[in-house]
Structure 1
Amino acid sequence: MKLHVRVLFKHDENDRLIAVNQWNGGIVPRFFLGRTQQGAIWRFHARLPQTLMDELSSLCQEETADPFTEPKHKASYLALLNAHAPDGQVWQGPAYACFQKPALSGQTAAITGENKHLLEGGLEDWLADIPYWQPFMASLEDNKAVAVCASVRTFGGAYEAGVETLAAYRQKGHAAHAVSAWANSLLAQNSLPLYSTSWENKASQAIARKHGFEFYGSDFHIS
């Protein structure tokens, strides 16, 4: 989990969150809580008041080591952060890691600057990411990319997956094809594939389980 949070966010010298760990930025949560069966870790946005961080830390120390349940003090975290700034947005979900190469399936391709035209027809928003999010794999149909899995964040030899499937091609296995190719590419270079999603996204969780990704904890953060 400590590696996972480093993959997700850039930290300052005091282990406080200062930026999303990707080339094009993003919204940094004010509060992050990660839980595994070994315990919990937590991080705060660098701009949070020290008194608020102290209050939140006190509650975090009482958290249960059960990543399958909601945080013990979820309501209190929300109340404290909403008092600081209203309408805090909650995100929570499982986190997985892959240690063995999953079976390859479907027709896939590694996307580079040389074949970026494969993203045309619906996945053009990913074009600017190609130089930064390698390895970058796609599932193909009719010689075009219909699903992608790319390394949206990385730190210390670990890589976080980002996945998208064109609406017309969902529930046909294309995301699974791209994810398996991506994980294989990373494991071949002795890197660690990480995959996280929301508790509501059952299809995404099914992809992780199908390809042997191991559940190791859960994320909870408030922006």
Structure 2
Amino acid sequence: MDMPVNVPVDNPEADTEWNDILRKHGIIPEKPPSPTPIIEEAILEAQRRAHENRLEDKDLDELDALEDEEDEGFLEQYRKKRMAEISTLQKASVYNQVYPLQKTDYAKEVTEASADAFVLVNLTSSTGGNTESRVLSEIWRQLAPKYGEIKFCEIRGDMCIEGYPDRNTPTILVYKDGEIRRQYVTLRELKGVRTKVEDLEKVLVDLGAIKEGDLRLRKQDDSDDDRNRAPEKEEDDDDDWD
């Protein structure tokens, strides 16, 4: 009776002549294909896509500045795209201010209006001593003209809801399609008194009220970078007086 032969194999994955003989006779399995070509292909594809989309975050001024570096037809394609985006925003930009509310108009100005747009209501403090409330009111006034397709409203909390405690202000109520989609009671879920415009912009992106790639968001980031950049050291002119 033939007895099975125990063939020694140090490393079945190794590229050796002995392993090739064993694979040929089915003693060890074929070596799986190397993942390297697949990885290299994926990297090349990612680079190709990045190159094709290299102008996605450029506004019209930035596109004009690239006239000597990019193909004119390619630039014109993106100019048309930006113009279409600007036109769409301009048509949708119908609010552009903070709307003070009265309780009697709440259903019309908020609930019904949310069928056409996101409506954000700021329930403010009834006193002047609530710092968070003052912070949010100022942010509201910066966001409203910047994102005119969103309706920003404001009403005192105790005028909107009888007996609404001042300690719960400011309260943000987000309406869409007649329903409250989200609410923030005070700014503790954000950054408290340190809450800034960009923090609310992140909320708007999360809600779907604005797109993550909206150029208006990048402009805000650029402005912040300019403000945070350390001023250049002025040259010492004392030598002129030596």
User: Fold conserved (TM > 0.5)?
Assistant: no
Smaller-chain TM-score bracket: under 0.3
TM-score (norm 2): 0.21
Higher relative contact order (CA closer than 8 Å, sequence separation 6+)? 1
* More helix per residue: 2
* More strand per residue: 1
User: Radius of gyration: which is bigger?
Assistant: 2
